[in-house]
Structure 1
Amino acid sequence: MKLVVRAKLLPTPVQAAALEATLYACNEAATWAAQAAFEKDARRPLGLRKHTYAEIKERWGLGAQAAQHAIKRACDAYSTLKANLRGGRYGRPGSKRYTRTSGKPVVFRPEAAQPYDDRMLSWQHQTRTVSIWTTAGRLKGVAFTGQAEQLAVLADHRQGESDLVRQGGNWFLIATCEIPEKTLNAHPVGFVGVDLGIVNIAATSDGERYSGRRINRKRENDRAVRSKLQKRGSKSAKRRAKKYAGKEARRNKDINHKISKRIVAEAERTGRGIALEELTGIRERARLRKPQRTTLHSWPFAQLGSFIAYKAKKAGVPVIHVDAAYTSQECSQCHHTARSNRPSQARFACKVCGFVEHADHNSSHNIAHRGWMSWVRGARSTAPALTLTA
């Protein structure tokens, strides 16, 4: 399976200037190649190369491999655009948006990612440096850093191209790694049920709860600050609002990584699979008071599910998605279902058998049971091979 590892570069000011000039030159060349492809209707690499290769090398001073990448990026962009137009992303054929999008050449952002193959980039893992091509010549000894676990994966499993990107004033190399998958556990002894929610981001059938109360309070404060900044409307206020939004997204991602890691590790340790509720339509199904709707709509539940899925795939743990309808009203002991079984958000009390449990744990037991029944009936694991940041 594929994982993406992001290594942070630590260039000197001179090296950073060379990287910036290279990124701008490569994207300008790719934009020019895309315009030539549009005008000459040459949207395949071989045909476009005849019209653009020599001039790209001479005009922007790109090397042979960099020029080839600029041409390929332009062709790939048109392939993606064609697929999006066909899929209806830009409206129906003949609509204003469709006509406007298809009637002009593709343009690349000045700081768009630039691919590097092994001829343009080499890694020295022992010294944690890279040698990288630029328009100012080859830079040697550019330091990089990252988490120890990610750097070990990078050293052992990196394959193919790496992308040079600049984000927030920092430089990164994003490398693709091919990780060997463990053999899927075809005979799990049971399933860990995972119930997703607002008060508790996730609750498992093992009794674990990952509370969201403190996180939600912090997110509410961040939203209030962003709202004030947006109302102010100045350039500095907009920059600060964007900074707050990025900070919240990184914090949410980190929390989802930690939760998914613990859930998968416990399932692997005990020889069980993982049962998740089907997230499709969760926003439409949930009936919440107005203050809670923003919290539900802004928390990346799909991201948490995808993190669990790819970590499970890596560990050989089967994952089953089940219909979570009425799991909060169904008794996990006698399976009597009634709305009155849940008198409050946190409390479940069955009206028939008298079973009392925390409501989220009761739901997670029902999800685990449905996952097991689906597996017994022959359902296959739904943990896909994903391309995600490790």
Structure 2
Amino acid sequence: MGRAPGPSVRLKLTLSYAGFLMLTGALLLAVVWVFLLRYVPEEIVLTPQRSAPGVPWTPGPHVPDRADLMRAFAPKVAAMLVFLLVFGLVGGWVLAGSMLAPLTRITNATRLAANGSLSHRIQLEGREDEFRELADAFDTMLARLDAHNAEQQRFAANASHELRTPLAITRTLLDVARSDPRREADELVDRLHFINTRAIDLTEALLLLSRADQRSFNREHVDLSLIAEEAAETLLPLAEKRGTTIETSGDIAPTVGSHALLLQLTTNLVHNAIVHNLPERGTVWVTTSVHPRAVVLTVENTGQELAPHLISTLVEPFQRGTQRIRDDHAGVGLGLAIVKSITQAHDGALTLTRRAAGGLRVTVQLPVAPPGTDR
């Protein structure tokens, strides 16, 4: 939106400083006039004194009256006001420039950020004041934008790689089938069906991740304990197939959010705990608890010992804490990334800690439903 150009803030501050200084000087001179010159009479009449006989009379010295003082006072007042005007303009210009210097740095940093340079930081020196708070807040915003931009670039690269892999395998299978007509068609169809299913799962996971990031969902009252039981019941056949036991417990945990997304969050956590578990006799614990300001969902599982430096990378897209699992339930590497996005979309907090005996403990903390929420 176009706007007409106006005077700069520095000029406005300069005129304000000079005007205030002129007003102060005028008030000071008015005080001098009121409390000094008003007591000087307009005309002083001296009564002649009689002189001694034979001595001629001579007039006494001239006593200045109000007119004399005005003639002497007016030029000095004019000179003083001119001096105050010049001093106010020059001093105000210098002071305004000094005060607005941090704002100039912030403006330059904003222009650099608008041109795509997110690595620049203001790093304003000095003590804490309004400009320092603004600069620190802007630096924090730039840091988050820079990290988010880098994360998006890594995500785009990983997603492109993951999507390209099934397409490349499909093309290879078709090329082999074309060059070898004797190859059985049923085997080719089965492998193509498996690869196509994996590609569809990956695409749906990407769409779900985008939906969670955009927070485009309706909020309703949900109970995390019921969602945990539903997810555990759904994945019970998979757990039995792998010889894993699922134990659910906890209190009623009311919160507000999307039932579908929170169910997806819990399902991803339980599925991840089942798949990345011991080869046999593994255990998954799913518990819920309620606190004064938050409800907590905890999914814990046995498994291999995880290196401490891997914990922070597990929530990144296409990252896995153990070796890639090659079976029908391996997932697409977006399970915990989707959990993180859904948690953030619900204004919650996600915490991952490794178990000393092996395995992982994942804690999701969400705001508790306010009292009186419709169930």
Structure number with the higher helix fraction is 2
- TM-score normalised per structure 1: 0.21
Q: Looking at secondary structure, tell me which structure has more strand per residue.
A: 1
Bigger Rg, structure 1 or 2: 2
